[in-house]
A and B are shown apart, each in its own frame.
Chain A
């Protein structure tokens, strides 16, 4: 049931999508085809799918580490922006002097930027007991304003006709393309590496084990002497570092410069990916494909069905709702009670 429930949730989401398209006066089957099949029916479409899945799988893998240990970092969007700012800042300063080291330096700067932004809630939680949920989310707004300040002010391209954006980065500082003619670039390999590293950490390392214990049984972890402070720090930094990498991969990939808006909510969508992927790195990688398809479907729906692209967010939210609802089947067994009355067919307890 643990692995069936995401499938059930996806099926329910598609079912409601069917009803929604009918209600909007579109041919539901054609609309669903346009939303879920058309985007990936070409090689270019598949490349786009993998391109959009890359940041999602990175961030979700990082966040899942924390979520498993009850560390609720929901500010990945802000950490992504900081990764883009730090990595992009390096790119702007390397202008002209680009060498093979440039991109590597940007990757490191991006990850460190995301980690630094995540370190603030980690510090406030461990030192001052402040809820990381609220502080990490507040910092997302601050990060977006900081980026807006930079591209409107000091980092604005002097030859950019006053558009709020930085110079384009040197070609040598962008991720090389994996498949010529598409936008899929080497950051996809980076994402796979993050997923692999996450899997090793969760399943093969003692620290990962300690964090799982902390999430399942807080008291047992304390009794065993596992440091709660370290759990918070690792949980936050993993999410922040991964989000920072994802942000850098966006600006050093398909975007190629700093603009006021560099992510269509990847940091929040990754929260859903983490849950749909069962907080498991491999699951996150698979779930990121589904979530990426929702992004592509939203774009397709806008072009073909003249529906707002915001429909993506609607589907994303529904997916998580249905998943959480379907998870009741993991912890409880539905059974019909013999006793007549209003309690009949209610969820009886099991497991």
Chain B
């Protein structure tokens, strides 16, 4: 029984990891009151940059850093538009997604026929030998461990540190934070860049580690699922993590169902993650109070300091 379970659980973690990165990043962005709908575009930029850098350098670590930088650069464009030029956040986020799809498809053409060697999982000594949990949790690619570290860091930062408190205050009431003397726009810049960097790492994980190749639009909507996850998690890091693995599980279940020869068309199984996203969004949103009490109050609204 455990023998059958191990590959499923390990694959679930691996499939959920890009969502962990992207959704935790977006969580921090939204906590500061900024709604960046460009996650899909930033992930694609990160995926391409990560793949290209890994091909050039031969090192997956360099690839992850390149993905981080590319995601942050894409987020910088968004931040310039919405924070400095006060553009509508929804429109600018859509623009970033469309631009990221176009840019990565254009720049990625030469990489479409390139293949990377499949990375070896990095087994943590001693821990990986534990029964069941060992091979599931501790024989994963390094970025999976980093995603857990990110989870710890984000939870600790948001709820246990003073800067985290300030960031949340900016998201709840930018006018008050400004009146006390905090640089609202600067803080939102930092949060947005962080979110972009994490989306970029999530994308790089996809193209370097999860499926070591580049294909146009390879994120297949994961950026949008990450956005939905943040709502689903009612803006709480722990629930983001759980939600990401839930979606990883849905993705994997579809592969195992196909492998087991389920008598359903593969396309209908492939649509499961998207339908599941709609399902959980409906479940969590149907009570408006849950959203109202948990969403950062200024989410999606521009703030102009001397207004």
Contact = CB atoms under 8 A, between A and B. Distances in A.
26 contacts: A124-B282, A130-B282, A130-B286, A131-B228, A131-B281, A134-B228, A137-B224, A138-B225, A138-B274, A145-B268, A145-B270, A146-B271, A148-B267, A311-B102, A312-B102, A313-B102, A316-B98, A318-B99, A320-B91, A321-B77, A324-B81, A324-B87, A331-B86, A332-B86, A347-B85, A349-B306
Interface stretch (B8-16, B103-111, B116-124, B205-213): B103-111
A145 B85 contact: no
B152 interface: no
Interface residues of B, number: 51
B220 to A, nearest CB: 7
A317 B103 contact: yes
B106 A308 contact: yes
A145 B102 contact: no
B216 interface: yes
A168 B85 CA distance: 50
Interface string A6-17: 000000000000
Given A130-B282, A272-B98, A349-B307, A311 B106 contact: yes
A310 B216 contact: yes
B68 interface: no
A325 B109 contact: no
A36 B156 CA distance: 53
Contacts of A271: 94, 98
A130 B88 contact: no
A324 B88 contact: yes
A138 B98 contact: no
B271 A314 contact: no
B231 A134 contact: yes
B160 interface: no
A19 interface: no
B130 interface: no
A72 interface: yes
Interface in A120-142: 124, 127-131, 133-135, 137-139, 141-142
Interface in B198-237: 216, 220-221, 224-225, 227-228, 231
Given A128-B282, A310-B105, A347-B85, 8 more contacts: A138-B225, A142-B275, A308-B105, A314-B99, A321-B99, A325-B87, A328-B86, A349-B306
Most buried by B among A142, A152, A271, A349: A142
**Interface size range of chain A in the complex:** 35 or more
A27 B57 CA distance: 31
A280 B224 CA distance: 28
B262 interface: no
Interface string B16-41: 00000000000000000000010001
B179 interface: no
Given A124-B278, A317-B98, A317-B99, A141 B106 contact: no
Given A317-B103, A321-B81, A138 B94 contact: no
B261 interface: no
B106 A349 contact: no
A283 B286 CA distance: 37
Contacts of A332: 86
Contacts of B307: 349
A153 B265 contact: yes
Contacts of B102: 310-317
Contacts of A72: 90
A270 B175 CA distance: 36
Contacts of B103: 313-314, 317
A310 B268 contact: no
A325 B81 contact: yes
A131 B93 CA distance: 15
B101 interface: yes
The 9 closest A-B pairs by CB, nearest first: A313-B102, A317-B99, A310-B105, A149-B267, A320-B95, A324-B87, A328-B85, A308-B109, A145-B267
A181 B199 CA distance: 49
Nearest to A127: B286
Contacts of B270: 145
A138 to B, nearest CB: 4
Contact of A133 (B37, B85, B275): B37
Contact of A138 (B81, B92, B221): B221
Nearest to A329: B85
A142 B268 CA distance: 8
Given A137-B224, A325-B85, A328-B86, A314 B278 contact: no
A153 B267 CA distance: 10
A259 to B, nearest CB: 15
B90 A313 contact: no
Contact of A131 (B94, B105, B285, B286): B285
Contacts of A318: 99
B224 A138 contact: yes
B87 A141 contact: no
B286 to A, nearest CB: 4
B182 to A, nearest CB: 18
B105 A313 contact: yes
A141 B286 contact: no
Contacts of A145: 267-268, 270-271
Most buried by B among A131, A134, A139, A268: A134
Contacts of A218: none
A149 B266 CA distance: 8
A53 B15 CA distance: 40
Contacts of A325: 80-81, 85, 87
